[in-house]
Structure 1
Amino acid sequence: MIRNLRRTVRRAYRRTVDLSHPARSPLGSAVVNCVVYLDGERQIDHCAAEEALRRVRKAGTGFVWIGLHEPDREEFAGVAELFDLHRLAVEDAVTAHHRPKADLYGETLFAVFKTVSYVEHEELTATSEVVDTGELMVFAGADFVITVRHGRHGSLGPLRENLEASPEQLAKGPAAVLHAIADHMVDDYLGVTDAIQDDIDAVETGVFSGQASRGEAGRIYQLKRELLELKRAVAPLDRPLRKLATEPSRLLDPEIQKYFRDVSDHLARVTEQIAAFDGLLDSVLQAHLAQVTVAQNEDMRKITAWAAIIAVPTMVCGVYGMNFEHMPELRWTYGYPLVVGVIAAVCFGVHRTFRRNGWL
């Protein structure tokens, strides 16, 4: 019941309107939104990047936040030139498929995060997809934030709304946005690990229910593969977060760095959970293989017991089937019933002995 409740809550959350979907963008196929913020308040949106940056620099305060979804080189070239982004960071933002990191290029901080989503399924199978990953790149400068999203999930629409509801936090500038994004990513990791725990509980219950099938090993291996994908997305983020939390930077206010330390602590919790899940799945797999071995041994004992029972009439019939001329009881009237009776009695005795010893 608790598992079904968690699943319902996750589905309800996923039905939230995706404000960062490219189809909703009034600015083109890649630019999702372009908003100017002054003193934490939203000023103008749906404007050209050049106009937004001009207004911010004319005011001498605030910043512009541009969101993009899977831009190609041509679409991103204008933005990169306008904000003087380093070509190596631009290349990473366009091609994607990079490890989480945080690098400083001149006056611009470039960070890469892995977005993670739990794939709902009614029942875990040996081919079920459990974890879906994407990427989110963030360029943070003195007066701008540029987010580049790759993948089907990782929407920043709800995050933007939450920040706009707290103008005092948003007024702290691009560093506050960078922290909110990092915190949002780690919160998603926590949600995914909670969901995976339901799958692990289901596999564990199936293995120890006494009715485990030979296909349980496939389910466990699939879950371990999906857990490995989650680990690849989460574990490399530890070093960038520690870097953001401890290394002095002109782009990060010391007050904001305290928040990054809190995010780093949450990430450590996720990493520990993943390691614990992996160890638990190893134990469950070993237990399942031990059960399979025990079942095979029981099958072999039954086969051996029946083979021993069948060996009795086989031996007797083999002796009397040698067709020698002079053999006892061959011409005796009660020879055949006696042999059959002896065979039945011996087989019954052997069967009872095996039953008493638990072989049958």
Structure 2
Amino acid sequence: MSMAGNLRKVTSLRKVGGLRGVGGLRKVARLARRGARVDLSHPARSPLGSSVVNCVTYREGVRQPPGRDLVESVERIRKTGDGFVWLGLHEPTEDEFADIADLFGLHPLAVEDAVHAHQRPKVERYDQTLFAVFKTVCYVEHTELTATSEVVDTGEIMVFVGRDFVITVRHGRHGSLGPMREELESSPEQLAQGPAAVLHALADHVVDGYLAATDAVQADIDQVETDVFAPDGARTDPGRIYQLKRELLELKRAVVPLGRPLQILATQPMRVIAPEIQAYFRDVDDHLKRATEQIAAFDELLNSILQAHLAQVTVAQNEDMRKITAWAAVIAVPTMVCGMYGMNFDHMPELHWRFGYPLAMSLITVACVALYRGFRRNGWL
């Protein structure tokens, strides 16, 4: 069995009175050894159907072989004072997370936030544990942008950082940390700096996702801008612009609030983050500012595109009204003449004249042609 252990046994921690010291750890370890061993150290979901995605021990930046169970691994690390445990979960339930919280001494308020999600990006300190919330962003690929297209999808990652452990809780359909874990394991010197290095890598990973999403959204904005300023731009569906603005607002809600937590991580002294690690958080904050500035620029650009589109629609409507007015003026001439000669009077000028009809038709034609040329010369037709 891996370090994650038999979850059916670990979730029985409450029944044995929780974890209160080394004696409690040993007692739960003995209970866990009675059941069948299941390897949970692979990056896939647990065959038990639990929320544990991965659980690995690192010592001097090197991944250690799986232990018997999670409790034994934590006990060994706390005895030697060397290394840390990285436990990854995906959308755990309260029951699944409760005993893990007891094992690592997590604060109930932080546990509640981690289970129920829908939190703003933040950083909070609870005794010896640091709790951070990050919003993840993923660009949704689409062949054509419509008024109902989903452009960005958001999720959440909660992180508990202690002296000898890192617990990541992921919510959402995207944001897998497997590639990030593999990249960190390829740099043992970085992992050797402890849980704070994992927190920095996670923050950098999330912010890189912001930059990738903003670059992809820019391509959609460029396409909409090209369509609006095309010769038939007035026929562009304004719903596409509004949809982009809605999706950009969702992106803004995920990115902008992270600025203050990153400043805290980069500037305020913390026990679980060494000063040399804090310098790297300043670099992540710089990248975040770039993403924030891009979003603000996109918002202004979309406002300008929307205003330009509305102006084009107004101009097109004016053009249509001028054409209608011009044709109405042209048609008014024969209507007037024919209406006058359609009156039933015996005594009318040229009523019985041989050339009366050709003359009336000639006058109508000349007047209509003159009006048409005049309107065409002035751009009305």
Q: TM-score, length-normalised on structure 1?
A: 0.92
Structure 1 residues 127 and 193: CA distance shift in structure 2, 3 A: same
- Alignment partners' CA distance in 2, 1:153 and 1:350: 66
Q: Which consecutive residues of structure 2, in runs of 5 or more, have no partner in the other structure?
A: 1-39
- Alignment partners' CA distance in 2, 1:100 and 1:192: 18
The Cα shift of 1:120 comes to 0.5
2:255 corresponds in structure 1 to 234
Asked whether the 8 Å contact 1:135–1:149 carries over to 2, the reply is: yes
Matched, 1:55 2:82: no
Specify which of 47, 50, 53 is matched with residue 32 of structure 1. 53
The Cα shift of 1:209 comes to 2.0
Asked whether the 8 Å contact 1:20–1:155 carries over to 2, the reply is: no
- Alignment partners' CA distance in 2, 1:52 and 1:233: 35
1:171 corresponds in structure 2 to 192
- In percent, how many aligned pairs have the same letter? 73
Specify which of 94, 101, 109 is matched with residue 115 of structure 2. 94
Structure 1 residues 99 and 271: CA distance shift in structure 2, 3 A: same
The Cα shift of 1:314 comes to 1.1
Matched, 1:106 2:127: yes
Specify which of 191, 195, 201 is matched with residue 222 of structure 2. 201
Specify which of 138, 142, 148 is matched with residue 127 of structure 1. 148
1:189 corresponds in structure 2 to 210
Matched, 1:306 2:296: no
The Cα shift of 1:22 comes to 7.7
2:22 corresponds in structure 1 to none
Give aligned pairs, total: 342
Moved over 4 A (4+): 19-23
- Alignment partners' CA distance in 1, 2:132 and 2:372: 73
Q: CA RMSD in A?
A: 1.7
Specify which of 170, 178, 187 is matched with residue 157 of structure 1. 178
Asked whether the 8 Å contact 1:107–1:142 carries over to 2, the reply is: yes
The Cα shift of 1:28 comes to 4.3
The Cα shift of 1:212 comes to 2.2
Q: Secondary structure at the match of 1:44?
A: coil
The Cα shift of 1:45 comes to 3.6
- Alignment partners' CA distance in 2, 1:208 and 1:185: 35
Structure 1 residues 252 and 295: CA distance shift in structure 2, 3 A: same
Q: Which moved more, 1:199-208 or 1:136-145?
A: 199-208
- Alignment partners' CA distance in 2, 1:47 and 1:355: 90
- Alignment partners' CA distance in 2, 1:25 and 1:222: 38
List per-residue Cα deviations over 1:194-242 (Å, max 9, x = no partner).
Answer: 1111111111111112132534311111111111110000000000000
The Cα shift of 1:119 comes to 0.4
Matched, 1:245 2:299: no
Q: TM-score, length-normalised on structure 2?
A: 0.87
Specify which of 160, 164, 179 is matched with residue 139 of structure 1. 160
List per-residue Cα deviations over 1:165-184 (Å, max 9, x = no partner).
Answer: 11111011111100000000
Q: Secondary structure at the match of 2:135?
A: strand
- Alignment partners' CA distance in 1, 2:354 and 2:127: 111
- Alignment partners' CA distance in 1, 2:307 and 2:67: 57
1:257 corresponds in structure 2 to 278
- Alignment partners' CA distance in 2, 1:241 and 1:47: 37
Matched, 1:214 2:210: no
Structure 1 residues 28 and 37: CA distance shift in structure 2, 3 A: farther
Specify which of 307, 315, 321 is matched with residue 294 of structure 1. 315
Q: Secondary structure at the match of 1:142?
A: coil
- Alignment partners' CA distance in 1, 2:58 and 2:125: 24
Q: Which amino acid aligns with 2:123?
A: A
Q: Secondary structure at the match of 2:141?
A: coil
The Cα shift of 1:353 comes to 0.6
Asked whether the 8 Å contact 2:227–2:236 carries over to 1, the reply is: no
- Alignment partners' CA distance in 1, 2:68 and 2:302: 51
List per-residue Cα deviations over 1:102-139 (Å, max 9, x = no partner).
Answer: 00011111000011100001111111111000000000
Specify which of 288, 291, 296 is matched with residue 270 of structure 1. 291
